[in-house]
Homo-oligomer: A and B are copies of this chain.
Amino acid sequence: MKLTHKTEYAILALIHLAREGESQTESISKECDIPFKFLQQILRELRLKQLVTSVRGPNGGFKLKRPANKISLAEVVRAFDGPLAPTSAVSVYFYEPGPLEAEPKTLRVFKEVRDFVSKKLEKTTIFDLV
């Protein structure tokens, strides 16, 4: 797992929504210091991934689709950056074969990393981060 800025922005936006209840793109952009146009794109993805809902028109905006304690960090990271595992050769949800395949001992080490990260991020929710 390597976090991109986009994923970090997504996490910030979700935390913000958890705090405020509801908010508009411009206000999130200013308070979280996220480039407006980039944030629009991110909020759209968050909606497509069922993490937020939106309302259009004046006084529109966004809010969390589920309670903050039902949105895990794992879900957010997976949605934006893909595998939590350090290499897709040991990924559960995004498995792909790779060069390391032939070395079981090495695979084991990275699987232990994957398991730790996965457990940690599954049990941490946006609520915990507010």
Contact = CB atoms under 8 A, between A and B. Distances in A.
Interface string A11-47: 1100100000000000000001110000000000000
Interface residues of A, number: 35
Contacts of A130: 105
Nearest to A123: B109
Question: Closest 10 interchain pairs by CB?
Answer: A2-B2, A3-B87, A8-B99, A8-B100, A105-B129, A106-B129, A116-B116, A1-B86, A3-B86, A109-B124
A62 interface: no
A15 to B, nearest CB: 6
Interface of A: 1-3, 5, 8-9, 11-12, 15, 32-34, 73, 86-87, 89, 98-100, 102-103, 105-106, 109-110, 112-113, 116-117, 120-121, 124, 128-130
Contacts of A106: 11, 15, 129
A12 to B, nearest CB: 6
Nearest to A105: B129
B116 A129 contact: no
A34 B33 CA distance: 44
Given A5-B98, A87-B8, A99-B5, A112 B105 contact: no
